[in-house]
């Protein structure tokens, strides 16, 4: 299921010195399409000028916004000689799902430490899917317990064991972020070829904010005045303007350290955060998010979920209703996979510490 025709990222064409200093391997089936959102135009309240970047179809194995990022992350893991990937995420984490599926596809063992979030049917399918795909699951509970168990999970269990490779929650960090600068170069080419309009506004859900920071940096490099709007889905202490700016600067510095010709555009980025869709917090359903998740199915054929995609659609709809955006062209960057891994046989493989997710009441 890995692409056979991609030989190098566009970023290596723009900055050739990166090729010798930045490991990469092809995972995404790119370019991904840009489609109009006509199917939900009445719900959005806009007949035209709203499009979607189909990163949900970035791979037939599993789509979403982690795949491009993992092209650089897993390449480093292989270069280091790691045999196991260790990661952390919520019980409904799409990042954990992507890590397990691509990690196993590339020959890694995968150990995932899972923390609590409001229980949904999507979370139940996710936990079963993690197990069915071959992950070793560790229940972390709350944030404090998860931190301690993640530290323990990262340790080698014998001196002769190769080092584990750790992927942080959200797979956010300068190396991973490079994947979405490359994605903006891809969008730039699609605009040049007339395959997509140049967006005035790009909307996406944001938590750890790496994708958002990279898109903003990529747009600045292209010379676009596009505003990147992140629909905040987690606590403000973890997702705020300062955090995004720091990611922008760190990612730009990461690239300049490997190719000094990468321009200093970090101060020219345009981004904002939309705070009106989060509800009670990370993973908590809202009526608007439930509605948005259903609308995503109208667009892609696969249901959304209420943590990221549902709230992103709710945020997009709210932004379109604002007078200052009335004549703007919008691009929704779809970060949720349309391909869904099998999960029906996974429950029997889930450890006892996590069996509660299948019996407890769900909130959505």
Q: Does residue 198 surpass a pLDDT of 80?
A: yes
268 and 322, same domain (yes or no): yes
Q: Does residue 21 surpass a pLDDT of 80?
A: yes
Write the DSSP assignment of 245-275 as a string of letters.
Answer: HHHHHHHHHHHHHH-TTS---GGG--EEEE-
151 and 261, same domain (yes or no): no
Residue 347 lies in a domain: no
126 and 216, same domain (yes or no): no
**CATH at residue 153:** 3.40.50.1100
Residue 89 CA to residue 311 CA, distance in Å, equals 19
Q: Categorise residue 134: left if φ over 0, alpha if ψ from -120 to 50, beta otherwise.
A: left
* Mean of the per-residue pLDDT values of the chain: 97
288 and 139, same domain (yes or no): no
Q: Which two tokens stand for residue 242?
A: 């300062």
Q: Does residue 257 surpass a pLDDT of 80?
A: yes
Q: Does residue 162 surpass a pLDDT of 90?
A: no
Among the candidates 114, 145, 171, a domain finishes at 171
54 and 153, same domain (yes or no): no
Residue 106 lies in a domain: yes
Among the candidates 171, 194, 226, a domain finishes at 171
Q: Identify the pLDDT of residue 239.
A: 98
164 and 190, same domain (yes or no): no
Number of structural domains the chain divides into: 2
Asked whether the beta carbons of 200 and 328 are under 8 A apart, the reply is yes
Q: How confident is the model at residue 172 (pLDDT cuts 50, 70, 90)?
A: confident
199 and 328, same domain (yes or no): yes
Lowest-confidence range among 32-36, 70-74, 341-345?
341-345
Q: Does residue 93 surpass a pLDDT of 80?
A: yes
Residue 141 lies in a domain: yes
Q: How confident is the model at residue 24 (pLDDT cuts 50, 70, 90)?
A: very high
97 and 195, same domain (yes or no): no
Residue 344 lies in a domain: no
107 and 140, same domain (yes or no): yes
Q: Identify the pLDDT of residue 163.
A: 84
In the chain, the DSSP E strands lie at 34-36, 50-53, 84-90, 109-115, 136-141, 165-167, 201-206, 227-232, 271-274, 330-333
Q: Identify the pLDDT of residue 159.
A: 75
277 and 166, same domain (yes or no): no
Among the candidates 108, 142, 171, a domain finishes at 171
Domain extent, residue 301, equals: 12-65+173-333
122 and 36, same domain (yes or no): no
**Beta bridge pairs of residue 85:** 110, 165
What is the per-residue pLDDT across 284-293, written as a single tens digit (0 to 9) for each?
Answer: 999 999 999 9
Q: What is the mean pLDDT of residues 263-271?
A: 97
Q: How confident is the model at residue 155 (pLDDT cuts 50, 70, 90)?
A: confident
Q: How confident is the model at residue 129 (pLDDT cuts 50, 70, 90)?
A: very high
Q: What is the mean pLDDT of residues 80-106?
A: 97
Residue 351 lies in a domain: no
DSSP classification of residue 55:
G
Phi, psi of 87 (to 5 degrees): -145, 170
Q: What's the pTM?
A: 0.97
149 and 297, same domain (yes or no): no
Neighbours of 155 (CB within 10 A): 10
């Amino acid at each position: 299921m890995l692409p056979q025709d991609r030989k190098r990222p566009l970023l290596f064409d723009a900055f050739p010195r990166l090729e010798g200093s930045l490991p990469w391997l092809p995972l995404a089936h790119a370019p991904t399409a840009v489609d109009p959102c006509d199917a939900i135009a009445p719900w959005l309240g806009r007949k035209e000028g709203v499009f979607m970047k189909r990163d949900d179809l970035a791979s037939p194995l599993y789509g979403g916004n982690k795949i491009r990022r993992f092209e650089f992350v897993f390449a480093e893991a292989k270069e280091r000689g790691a045999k196991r990937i260790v990661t952390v995420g919520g019980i409904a984490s799409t990042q954990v799902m992507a890590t397990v599926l691509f990690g196993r596809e590339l020959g890694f063992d995968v150990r995932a430490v899972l923390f609590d979030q409001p229980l949904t049917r999507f979370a139940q399918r996710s936990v079963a899917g993690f197990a069915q795909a071959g992950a070793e699951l560790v229940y972390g509970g709350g944030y404090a317990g998860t931190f301690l168990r993640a530290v323990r999970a990262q340790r080698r269990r014998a001196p002769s064991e190769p080092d584990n490779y750790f992927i942080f929650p959200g797979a956010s960090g300068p190396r991973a972020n490079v994947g979405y600068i490359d994605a903006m170069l891809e969008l730039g080419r699609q605009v040049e070829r007339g395959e997509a309009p140049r967006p005035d506004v790009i909307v996406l859900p944001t938590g750890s904010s790496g994708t958002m920071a990279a898109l903003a940096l990529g747009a600045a490099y292209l010379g676009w005045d596009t505003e990147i709007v992140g629909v905040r889905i987690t606590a403000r202490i973890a997702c705020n303007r300062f955090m995004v700016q720091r990611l922008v600067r760190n990612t730009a510095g990461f690239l300049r350290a490997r190719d000094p010709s990468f321009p200093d555009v970090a101060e020219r980025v345009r981004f904002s955060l939309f705070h009106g869709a989060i509800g009670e917090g990370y993973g908590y359903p809202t009526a608007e998010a439930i509605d948005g998740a259903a609308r995503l199915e109208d667009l892609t054929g696969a249901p959304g979920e209420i943590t990221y995609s549902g709230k992103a659609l709710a945020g997009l709809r709210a932004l379109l209703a604002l007078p200052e955006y009335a004549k703007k062209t919008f691009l929704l960057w779809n970060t949720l996979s349309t391909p869904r891994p099998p999960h029906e046989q996974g429950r029997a493989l889930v450890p006892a510490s996590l069996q509660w997710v299948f019996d407890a009441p769900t909130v959505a």
